[in-house]
Structure 1
Amino acid sequence: MKSILMTFMGVGTIMNLTAGNLSEDRTDQPQTGGGKVLTMEEAVLGYQLYPKNLYIQWQGDRNVLTYPEGTNLMGEVAGKEKPEVLMTLAELNRLLEADLKGWPQYEWKDGRTLVIMRQGKRYEIDTDKKVLAYVFPIAKGAQNVTSNGQELLAYTKANNLYYVDANGNEFAVTSDEDPNIVNGQTVSRNEFGINGGIFWSPDGKQLAFYRKDESQVGTFPLLDINSRMGTLREIKYPMAGMKSEQISLGVYQVASGKTVFLDVDDFGREQYLTNIAWSPASDYIYVQVLDRAQKHMKLNQYSAKTGEFVKTLLEEQNERYIEPLTPIVFLKNDPSRFIYRTNNRDGYFSLYLCEAATGKVLKRLTDVNADVEMVGQDDKFVYYTSAEVSPVDNHLFRVEVKSGKKTRLTQAEGWHKVTMSGDMKYFVDNYSSLKVPRVILLVQNDGKKVKELLKAEDPTKDYNFGEITLGTVKSADGKFNNYYRLIKPMNFDASRKYPVIVYVYGGPHSQMVKNTWQAEMRRWEMYMAQHGYVVFVMDNRGTSNQGAEFEKAIHGQCGQAEMADQMEGIKLLKSLPYVDADRIGVHGWSYGGFMTISLLTNHPDVFKVAVAGGPVIDWKWYEVMYGERYMDSPHTNPEGYAKVSLIHKARDLKGKLLICQGAIDNTVVWEHSLSFIRECIKNNIQVDYFPYPCAEHNVMGKDRIHLMQKVTDYFEDYLK
């Protein structure tokens, strides 16, 4: 067990890259003193330069590890020494009548059936007999394909929901013609843990689905310049304080072809329905119903057959906000009890054992002061990962349901990602730490190591990189340790004064600093360190993995606690003898773009240069679900919105600022940055602006090389 306060010193490597020609870059050629340096393309797109990995899946309910290796799909029985070939690429090509050069993405339907989606068809392959079990034709334009685990596939086309049987017969579940009505797709802009809109019952005979009515939601125009005259594409965009979408949950009975809608009317038509769960017997549906203000949640039970409300099992209230993220999970060996996850009771995301009939909380299963996430269960134990060792480490534990006895199952320091076997007797432990590129182990469910599957070499050994340090700075309120990553310049000279680039995100559901290989560092950060910069990244209050109080400190005034914490980081930087306090820059995207401009305009005497990408400028122009959770409504919190708006901060701009934005950004719409530019013009403030045509919220692919070169050049021109 290591201390929560940890500082790692000394690792100075990243990415095993081929030496490139930097003559394309405007950045000065660094004096390497031996070792390679990154090209911009390698820094941005060098995906192949990560440590070697094994893309392991368990073979359904069998204790067999499967992974592609060369042209073969390998299978390795847990506990046996040598893997075997489950299927060759040649055998797969024969079955698919294809000429694939490598293994495609796949999944396991059960212990013998391999599933591959290809060219509008879903292939189910019996790997024991090496034959096709089923071929499901998927209609053109079909999306959100979801299997019932048997012989039916549901999917959406346009705004309606369909399913197809094993004979290729297609059936319409919905037939709405109104373009404002959307069935079977994700809702609430993927907030509240929502990542789909189709929910098969355990018996595969019923299909629950979201129905979204956007008729009251305003539209925002996006300009498509790909045609000669240009066209406008309008998207539905519910802004904070304005009309939102209305969600229903339908249940379709396959046998009868009839649909009922759940009788959900707790908080009006703009309530949120999330974390959908079925009872093991497929007779009830459980929904976490949240009011639009996101301060009151009810866990309700409904009849799947009639849609009638049965009872409210649990309620949560919080004057700041409630954010339900996880459906309830019934115990495998006891359907009279379920596991419920929330951070609204004991200050951390914890697992609670509850009585299914009444919702009564029987016990807190994970009695630790750390956020936890359930990863599986067997007849005796619940398995979970948590940050209880350290906020920058992730470990696997198990707790005995009956006694509450806890056991730590992963021992090496670092960030562990685990994949449990179907019967929970084994798990694959894929971990790394600051000094360890990657190790993959096969481990028994009691923590006993069975076999080392992979120990990746350091792919950066031939490179000359700066030293990476992990450390902590006290939050501005003195209550928390904020973790940071600091990278020193290549060939560091303690007698010199170096410019600093602060990279910031700072928003909810993020963690930029972890005890992973190179501490979650982006290669561009090391590229800048190679060119003579100190690079600093810190997770402030409002980010993840340190409990509810840490996360909710930003409520009602986004940017304020975050800035206060970041300025504590600046104090640390200024105390370092090798930092030039007159040359500090800041860069961030999205919430980080908001933070970048906030820091530059609120602390103009500290930050000399800034590059902000896709920045939120005024939260009243952001979407309802996210914006109202953290800021409330503009009608109920006008002072908070006014305080953190950057529109009137334009006049305080002193340093150099470059704003970049995708021209068809559908997340942070163009109104934000253009409004800030207009305000700069009103105040005769010069600012630099660069739109990326046809890019959405993130600039991807080779265009990203152009983006990061532009960011780099801006710092080179005005900071260095």
Structure 2
Amino acid sequence: MKKLFILVTILLLSSCKKKETTTLNDAVGTKEISLEEIWDGTFSTDRMNALNSMNGDFYSLLNYDKETKETTVDKYSYQTLEKVETIVNSKNLQDLEDFSSYSFNNDETKLILGTDFEKKFRRSFKGTFYAYDIASKKLSLIGKGIQEPIFSPDNKKVAYAKNNNIFIKDFANNAVIQVTKDGKKNCIINGITDWVYEEEFGFVRAFEWSKDSRNLAFLRFDETNVPTFSMDIVGTGNYPTQQVFKYPKAGEKNSEVTLHMFTLSSKKTKKIGLGDYEYIPRIKWSNDANILVATTLNRHQNDLKLYKVNALKGNATLLLNETDKAYVNIDDNLTFLADNSFIWTSEKSGFNHIYHYDFSGKLINQITKGKWEVTNYYGFNKDKKTIYYQSVENGSTNRGIYSIDLDGNNKKLLSKKEGTNRAAFSTNLHYFINTYSSAKTPPIYSLYTAEGEMLKVIKENYKLQKKLSDYKMSPKEFSTITINGNELNMWMIKPVDFDENKKYPLLMYQYSGPGSQQVANRWNASNDYWHNMLAQKGMIVACVDGRGTGFKGSDFKKSTYLNLVKYETEDQIAAAKKLAERSYIDKNNIGIWGWSFGGHMSTNSLLKGNDIFTTAIAVAPVTSWRFYDTVYTERFLRTPQENPAGYDENSPINYADKLQGNYLLVHGTGDDNVHVQNSYRMTNALIEANKQFDQFIVPDRTHGIYKGKNMRLNLYTKMTNFLEENLLNKTK
């Protein structure tokens, strides 16, 4: 089943060229970057609309014409990149004036069109959905206020969720079957994940059709005993409202999650036993229509099991068991081949690699090997017996696209340039569209054959390149720095008129979360322009990826296990001290900033590193892991009951008295992820320690703090002024 949900935008294909664009001109302009330009879209890249690969050598796009106000789903050829046909046009839909999402059934004879979306959490939303028959052009309503509709493989039905229950609509008689009836807000959820699964396991739809359309497997969440979290929403009325939802904080009760099987012929549901487990983070049907594979995890998340579930018998047998001294990652790379052998990725060698198993769970072979990480699995071409993947074989800050035979031979680099390459393969794996960028080159979209021949440049960012040549843009200087016995990746941005005989204040930026990466050879995000603006003002900005970050092997990433933020903080403090030895760094004016996990880090670094850091900004920080969710936190720390020291010894709430420098604390009160409770408790700790600090509490904003007129401009103006006053001006 192919699904796409995107914002409606216009696809503007550039003239196709065989040669890819060169990097930015080394000449430096005279214009200075302004905050207004960063947030009004001046430096936005020209992007391709998200495409949906179709059967054969075709893909589809959702397009919107501003002049006619028509929304269309259009079909394109990979070979020519030309439009072949318009599949549906909103002007021809009598009961649907506009739509903003679409998904095909398997044989691409029908579409599900969605509109009127209402966002719930990060990935989830409700909407109104219609079924559209392409041949007859007939449109029929599936439902309003529903979630995650999906066609059955036989194209005769659609399953969806509404009000915490699952329904099936049969197009033959227009009848609706209610699969579950016990759904209740903040108690029972059928077929849709709870908050913590959505946020940490990264999926929303928790029901799947069998290949023969006879069975529907689904997860049931009983969150009755999960503690409730509530937030006041100020809004625009006279009285605030409350957002109330179940949020399991570290050490608290999770939802009781169970696997169920609904059989359409009998209209009966069976509960499937899976032994002892805490989580069911994935379910997926194999190529045997009667065999579902369910993934389970224990609460420590270091014991993963794959179970073969027989839909006819209702029993489960163990297929694969993988354990780790720290934790096992969850991904979507499980792929069943024609004989039901399967592809699986694992870190069991110390680096993430691709493995091939038979359907009894016996290892056939390890396909990729080496002291480098596979970072994405794209698919398997059964005719060529070839696998396509992305990895860091050409350096941990780069990404390349590769092919390799199923037996591990004939590995080939398909992407052409050093930097970050991301592939979107056609369904039949004959072509891929490569998105390439580097720290010097904005995104270039190019069409490649699966053999690595670059056919056409689809879109490039020449206009942005030309525009930026007028600005004082400082390049990122990539290097490594040896800290606490580890060689860490680093970038640095210096003022355009840098003079090594002068002294400059230093601002360090980081995120530092487990498996993350900020030092990467890729094009600018908004923060990179802000950092360049600060460099124009006379600061040096640097970023160091310390222990616990990703793509350098399991041992490096998991070295922070049970002591989250301890070693990461030590690395930032040590890096600051080492950089302070450089003649051009003002050792008395060194700051650090970060968001979310990075806000926790900047707070810790200022307090524990008060002999080197003088200034810090923390945006939406965790200040105690006791306040964060079970799945994420316990993966790295276990529970507070088992590991109280791991939670408390690295919580800045417990050593607020160490504050000596300048501290700006920022949080949105509508943050359902990192609750503002974190900043409120930090505020109380600082007050009790009689410490002065700056604070910016933003009503109703979620974790990203972006909604509303001028929100980001206002926030970054405040942060810029804070840094100028407390870092830049003190060096001058």
In the alignment, residue 249 of structure 1 is paired with which amino acid? L
> 1:538 and 2:535 equivalent?
no
Alpha-carbon distance in 2 for matches of 1:477, 1:714: 31
Alpha-carbon distance in 1 for matches of 2:227, 2:49: 43
Alpha-carbon distance in 2 for matches of 1:12, 1:557: 45
Moved more, 392-401 or 570-579: 570-579
Corresponding residue for residue 720 of structure 2: 712
Corresponding residue for residue 91 of structure 2: 93
Matches within 5 A, 1:324-343: 324-326=330-332, 328-331=334-337, 333-335=338-340, 337-343=341-347
Alpha-carbon distance in 2 for matches of 1:13, 1:36: 15
Question: TM-score normalised to the size of structure 2?
Answer: 0.86
Choose from 428, 436, 445 the match for 2:441.
436
Alpha-carbon distance in 2 for matches of 1:551, 1:292: 20
Corresponding residue for residue 205 of structure 1: 214
Choose from 390, 393, 400 the match for 1:388.
393
In the alignment, residue 476 of structure 1 is paired with which amino acid? I
In the alignment, residue 365 of structure 2 is paired with which amino acid? K
CA deviation after TM superposition for structure 1 residue 692, in Å: 0.9
Choose from 311, 315, 319 the match for 1:304.
311
Q: Is contact 1:475–1:568 with CA below 8 Å preserved after alignment?
A: no
In the alignment, residue 727 of structure 2 is paired with which amino acid? L
Q: State the secondary structure of the residue aligned to 1:644.
A: coil
CA deviation after TM superposition for structure 1 residue 594, in Å: 0.5
> 1:79 and 2:79 equivalent?
yes
Indicate the RMSD between aligned Cα atoms, in angstroms: 2.7
Residue 469 to residue 519, structure 1, CA distance change in 2 (3 Å): farther
Choose from 4, 26, 31 the match for 1:36.
31
Residue 470 to residue 73, structure 1, CA distance change in 2 (3 Å): farther
In the alignment, residue 425 of structure 2 is paired with which amino acid? M
Q: Is contact 1:11–1:434 with CA below 8 Å preserved after alignment?
A: no
Corresponding residue for residue 692 of structure 1: 698
Alpha-carbon distance in 1 for matches of 2:112, 2:509: 41
Alpha-carbon distance in 2 for matches of 1:156, 1:97: 22
> 1:160 and 2:165 equivalent?
yes
> 1:62 and 2:56 equivalent?
yes
Residue 137 to residue 266, structure 1, CA distance change in 2 (3 Å): same
Q: Output one character per residue of 1:553-612: Cα deviation in whole Å (capped at 9) or x when no partner.
A: 111111122123223432453244332222211111110111011000001121111111
CA deviation after TM superposition for structure 1 residue 300, in Å: 1.4
> 1:189 and 2:187 equivalent?
no
Corresponding residue for residue 27 of structure 1: none
Alpha-carbon distance in 2 for matches of 1:169, 1:160: 16
Q: Is contact 2:351–2:553 with CA below 8 Å preserved after alignment?
A: yes
Moved more, 626-635 or 697-706: 697-706
Choose from 228, 235, 239 the match for 1:219.
228
Corresponding residue for residue 514 of structure 1: 520
Q: State the secondary structure of the residue aligned to 1:529.
A: helix
Alpha-carbon distance in 2 for matches of 1:85, 1:177: 45
Alpha-carbon distance in 1 for matches of 2:572, 2:303: 32
CA deviation after TM superposition for structure 1 residue 283, in Å: 0.7
Choose from 138, 145, 151 the match for 1:147.
151
Residue 682 to residue 147, structure 1, CA distance change in 2 (3 Å): same
Alpha-carbon distance in 2 for matches of 1:256, 1:317: 39
Q: State the secondary structure of the residue aligned to 2:349.
A: coil
Alpha-carbon distance in 2 for matches of 1:329, 1:219: 37
Corresponding residue for residue 504 of structure 1: 510
Moved more, 667-676 or 166-175: 166-175
Residue 236 to residue 77, structure 1, CA distance change in 2 (3 Å): closer
Corresponding residue for residue 589 of structure 1: 595
Corresponding residue for residue 683 of structure 1: 689
Q: State the secondary structure of the residue aligned to 2:570.
A: helix
Q: State the secondary structure of the residue aligned to 1:719.
A: helix
Structure 1 residue runs without a partner (length 5+) = 1-9, 15-32
Q: Is contact 2:163–2:184 with CA below 8 Å preserved after alignment?
A: no
CA deviation after TM superposition for structure 1 residue 661, in Å: 1.0
CA deviation after TM superposition for structure 1 residue 164, in Å: 2.2
Alpha-carbon distance in 2 for matches of 1:243, 1:638: 17
Alpha-carbon distance in 2 for matches of 1:237, 1:73: 38
Matches within 5 A, 1:226-375: 226=235, 227-267=237-277, 271-309=278-316, 311-326=317-332, 328-331=334-337, 333-335=338-340, 337-343=341-347, 345-356=348-359, 358-372=360-374, 373-375=376-378
Alpha-carbon distance in 1 for matches of 2:538, 2:101: 41
Instruction: List, as ranges, runs of 4+ consecutive aligned residues in structure 1 with deviation greater than 6 Å.
Output: 10-14, 97-100
Corresponding residue for residue 5 of structure 1: none
CA deviation after TM superposition for structure 1 residue 330, in Å: 0.8
Alpha-carbon distance in 2 for matches of 1:513, 1:519: 12
In the alignment, residue 216 of structure 1 is paired with which amino acid? N
CA deviation after TM superposition for structure 1 residue 673, in Å: 1.5
Alpha-carbon distance in 2 for matches of 1:718, 1:225: 32
CA deviation after TM superposition for structure 1 residue 247, in Å: 0.7
Residue 355 to residue 11, structure 1, CA distance change in 2 (3 Å): same
Q: Output one character per residue of 1:485-524: Cα deviation in whole Å (capped at 9) or x when no partner.
A: 3222244444432222212211024222221124885332
Corresponding residue for residue 46 of structure 2: 52
Residue 13 to residue 278, structure 1, CA distance change in 2 (3 Å): farther
Q: State the secondary structure of the residue aligned to 1:334.
A: coil
Alpha-carbon distance in 2 for matches of 1:443, 1:124: 33
Alpha-carbon distance in 2 for matches of 1:69, 1:317: 46
Alpha-carbon distance in 2 for matches of 1:382, 1:666: 39
Alpha-carbon distance in 2 for matches of 1:88, 1:253: 34
Q: Output one character per residue of 1:252-288: Cα deviation in whole Å (capped at 9) or x when no partner.
A: 2233322112112223xxx111221211122111122
Matches within 5 A, 1:87-126: 87=86, 91-95=89-93, 104-109=100-105, 110=107, 115-119=112-116, 120-124=128-132, 126=134
Alpha-carbon distance in 2 for matches of 1:611, 1:625: 27
CA deviation after TM superposition for structure 1 residue 178, in Å: 4.1
Residue 322 to residue 98, structure 1, CA distance change in 2 (3 Å): closer
Alpha-carbon distance in 1 for matches of 2:655, 2:272: 47
Alpha-carbon distance in 2 for matches of 1:94, 1:446: 41
Alpha-carbon distance in 2 for matches of 1:477, 1:362: 40
Q: Is contact 1:295–1:319 with CA below 8 Å preserved after alignment?
A: yes
Q: Output one character per residue of 1:127-183: Cα deviation in whole Å (capped at 9) or x when no partner.
A: xx6x62x53424222122333352432222222222323365332221115431111
Q: State the secondary structure of the residue aligned to 2:144.
A: coil
Residue 221 to residue 78, structure 1, CA distance change in 2 (3 Å): closer
Q: Is contact 1:116–1:122 with CA below 8 Å preserved after alignment?
A: yes
Corresponding residue for residue 656 of structure 1: 662
Q: State the secondary structure of the residue aligned to 2:442.
A: strand
Alpha-carbon distance in 1 for matches of 2:299, 2:140: 40
Residue 578 to residue 441, structure 1, CA distance change in 2 (3 Å): same
Q: Is contact 1:160–1:184 with CA below 8 Å preserved after alignment?
A: yes
Q: Is contact 2:229–2:244 with CA below 8 Å preserved after alignment?
A: yes
Corresponding residue for residue 427 of structure 1: 432
CA deviation after TM superposition for structure 1 residue 461, in Å: 2.7
Alpha-carbon distance in 1 for matches of 2:366, 2:157: 38
Q: Is contact 1:13–1:467 with CA below 8 Å preserved after alignment?
A: no
Question: TM-score normalised to the size of structure 1?
Answer: 0.87
May I ask how many residue pairs the two structures share in their alignment? 675
CA deviation after TM superposition for structure 1 residue 644, in Å: 0.9
Q: Output one character per residue of 1:24-65: Cα deviation in whole Å (capped at 9) or x when no partner.
A: xxxxxxxxx95433332332352x733322225355112124
Alpha-carbon distance in 2 for matches of 1:11, 1:494: 25
Q: Is contact 1:44–1:524 with CA below 8 Å preserved after alignment?
A: no
Residue 636 to residue 55, structure 1, CA distance change in 2 (3 Å): same
Alpha-carbon distance in 2 for matches of 1:260, 1:12: 65
In the alignment, residue 363 of structure 1 is paired with which amino acid? N
Alpha-carbon distance in 2 for matches of 1:96, 1:530: 55
Q: Is contact 2:624–2:647 with CA below 8 Å preserved after alignment?
A: yes
Alpha-carbon distance in 2 for matches of 1:296, 1:249: 19
Identical positions, percent = 28
Residue 606 to residue 174, structure 1, CA distance change in 2 (3 Å): same
Q: Compare relative contact order (CA 8 Å, sep 6+) and give the higher one, 1 or 2.
A: 1
